[in-house]
Structure 1
Amino acid sequence: MPNSAMRSTFERIVINQFTPLHCAQARDMLGWSVEHLSELSKVSVPAIQRFEASGPIRDVTRLALAYCLEAEGLVFFPGFAPGRGGNIRGTTPDPIGREDFALIE
């Protein structure tokens, strides 16, 4: 499978399964404030708050949040609270190489 197709597949998975509740639960597990997540993910505080309130955000913004939290060893599955992934450092591709990276909210 070509790298771009693989990246696209992983991105679609994350976009469809990383939920607002996952984001809030992950922050709680890590003891992070919205401001701390904002600093690490480069996503604005209002965008994180909007996402956690189930409001709309851009796909690249959701990927940036998931990437940041997965880099801490968390994994996300639909219908379950985030868990520790052991040796897994996450599968979400770093959004920095995306054409729409500059659009992170």
Structure 2
Amino acid sequence: MLPVQCRMARAAVGWGVRDLAAAAKVSIDTVARFERGDELKVRTVEAMQRALEAAGIEFINGNGGGPGVRLAATQKRQTRKK
């Protein structure tokens, strides 16, 4: 996950920095530092990515069109929440 993907993912699910921090069990400052482009431990970034994926985000690799995010299909998201 790239910092720009993190910002896009939060916007897609309507989360603020605090929401992601709480869901990933990291500090608000950690999320802000990552989104500014600071390097974090891999496991910290993975925790934030897992939290966003659990909220219904799918990460798209930069395969020619640049990296991005999208919301998972509604049915898929409902399955994850159960």
TM-score, length basis structure 1: 0.63
In the alignment, which residue of structure 2 is the partner of 1:83?
Answer: 70
The residue type equivalent to 2:50 in the other structure is Y
Deviation at 1:84?
Answer: 1.6
Structure 1: stretches of 5+ with no match in the other structure: 1-17, 90-105
Greater share of strand residues, 1 or 2?
2
Distance 1:85 1:75 in 2: 6
Counting only pairs closer than 5 Å after superposition, residues 63-102 of structure 1 correspond to structure 2 as 63-78=46-61, 79-86=66-73, 87=76, 89=80
The sequence identity of aligned pairs, in percent, is 32
In the alignment, which residue of structure 2 is the partner of 1:43?
Answer: 26
In the alignment, which residue of structure 1 is the partner of 2:45?
Answer: 62
| Residue-pair matches, total | 72
The residue type equivalent to 2:6 in the other structure is C
Calculate the aligned-residue CA RMSD, in Å. 1.4
Structure 2: stretches of 5+ with no match in the other structure: none
TM-score, length basis structure 2: 0.79
> Secondary structure of 2:11's match?
helix
CA contact (8 A) 2:12 2:71 kept: no
Distance 1:63 1:80 in 2: 16
Distance 1:84 1:28 in 2: 11
